[in-house]
Amino acid sequence: MTKNILKMSPAFADIIPAEYRELVDNGPYGRDVGVAELGTFKELLEEHPLCAGCGLALALRIFLASLPAPEDTIVVGSTGCSSLVFPQAAVQNIHSLFGNQNSVASGLKRALKLRFPDKDKDVIVVAGDGATADIGLDMVMHSWFRRENITTIMLDNEAYANTGGQESGMSQQGTVLYMAPKGKNFPKISMPELAREAGCVYVAVGTPAQPRKLEKMLKRAIILARHVGPTYVQIMTPCPTNYKFKNNETVNRLKGLEKDGVFKPREYITAEAQEALNRLEEVSK
Amino acid sequence: MYVAIKLDKEKCIGCKMCIFVCPEANVIAFCPKSKKVEVNEARCKGCGLCVVACPKDALSLDNN
Ligand SMILES: Cc1ncc(C[n+]2csc(CCOP(=O)(O)OP(=O)(O)O)c2C)c(N)n1
Ligand SMILES: [Mg+2]
């Protein structure tokens, strides 16, 4: 896709919504803008219905600014809070049945490889922790076993936030939520380590409290999925609504969890992926 | 009641910390000319994350 497809016919210019016009005139398509330039270009995201202070919304804002080629990106989503954002985002999006996201993405990536053999189309899965680590776990793991060239991103708010606060496999042991009154009785799943063992060539755990670092992780994951194999990024995204903290505390909470050692950002990369990364980062210099 | 942040332009040093913590898109813009930020109050949900992040107390949440 080129920017031309977004251009509007001059005859309709006066009835096109202002937000769309801004996107055409000052959007990120085909430009070298990223997280550092936020605030100086029209973001791909429009007003969305997520709660005030939502960590997941902040992560998605950074994610959308980090895309290396938004015009050639297809985001495959799943039911959850994140799926309420994509109708307001100017990227191509498929909303799949809850849990099926990695299967849908696998098929899509294969079809796009056949249809556009000379072009990189980034297929990126963006889903919640419930969709990734619980209900969709078999589809997620098998897409990794099959070494599909897709990026999987988990927005980890440690709960089923969208359905009112049930515990997920990613909740910490002992967590009490609106619909988990007795407290969770088993520990958080080590998803990054599972991903590493299951065949992901690059795995990263990041936080929107460090937007530049998170951008780097996301870019690496997307580029390596093009050239080497499956990649996984887990983003910690606290939920003020279900975890009952003030909505101006989201970022401080992230920093606090990291300081207390409860949340540990980390990265794993295979030798093959590291070699490819060195080569690619050399070229882009 | 509509809650939105207020910016005291005098105090802003243009560090952009507020832009990096805002969960809403296109609320806070950076003006390269004045090297300060500008706020689109109509898009703000009033979470206050930027108020906490601002090192110069240039942003405040006014509850009316
Ligand atoms: C097949 C199917 N099962 C269950 C649901 C109900 N459901 C909707 S959202 C959701 C939880 C989502 O949790 P998560 O993936 O963590 O996303 P979050 O809302 O926390 O971002 C569930 C169980 C559904 N929509 N479809
Ligand atoms: Mg969740």
Structural domains in chain B (count)? 1
pLDDT score for B38: 96
In CATH, what number is assigned to the domain containing residue A133?
Answer: 3.40.50.970
How much distance in Å is there from the Cα of B9 to the middle of ligand 1? 43
Residue A170 lies in a domain: yes
- Interchain contact, B30 vs A54, CB within 8 Å: no
Say whether residue B13 is in contact with chain A using an 8 A CB cutoff. Answer: no
- Which of chain A's residues have a Cβ under 8 Å away from the Cβ of B45? 51-53
Task: Identify whether the C-beta of residue A72 lies closer than 8 Å to the C-beta of residue A4.
Answer: no
Residue A47 neighbours by CB under 8 Å, 6+ apart: A88, B24, B25, B43
pTM of the predicted model, to two decimals?
0.96
In CATH, what number is assigned to the domain containing residue B53?
Answer: 3.30.70.20
Chain A nearest-CA residue for B46:
A52
Instruction: Residue B20: give the domain boundaries.
Output: 3-63
Task: Identify whether the C-beta of residue A126 lies closer than 8 Å to the C-beta of residue A89.
Answer: no
Residue A1 lies in a domain: no
Residue A19 lies in a domain: no
10-residue mean pLDDT series, chain A (285 residues): 71 88 89 94 95 97 96 96 95 96 98 96 98 98 98 98 97 97 97 98 98 98 97 98 96 97 97 96 75
Handedness of CA A161, A189, A207, A249 (dihedral sign): positive
Per residue in B3-59, pLDDT tens? 899 999 999 999 999 999 999 999 999 999 999 999 999 999 999 999 999 999 999
Handedness of CA A226, A56, A212, A63 (dihedral sign): positive
Q: Which amino acid is at B6?
A: K
Instruction: Residue A273: give the domain boundaries.
Output: 53-284
Say whether residue A251 is in contact with chain B using an 8 A CB cutoff. Answer: yes
pLDDT score for A9: 84
Q: Which two tokens stand for residue B46?
A: 């009033």
- C-alpha separations of A139 from A75, A145, A200, A232 in Å: 16, 10, 14, 14
pLDDT-based confidence at residue B64 (cuts at 50, 70, 90): very low
pLDDT score for A67: 96
Q: Which amino acid is at B1?
A: M
pLDDT score for A29: 87
DSSP state of A160: B
pLDDT score for A8: 80
* Cβ-based burial of A285 (10 A; exposed 0-12, middle 13-18, buried ≥19): exposed
- Interchain contact, B48 vs A248, CB within 8 Å: yes
Cβ atoms within 10 Å, residue A283: 7
pLDDT score for A14: 86
Collapse the DSSP code of A187 into the 3-class scheme (helix H, G, I; strand E, B; otherwise coil) and give the result. Answer: coil
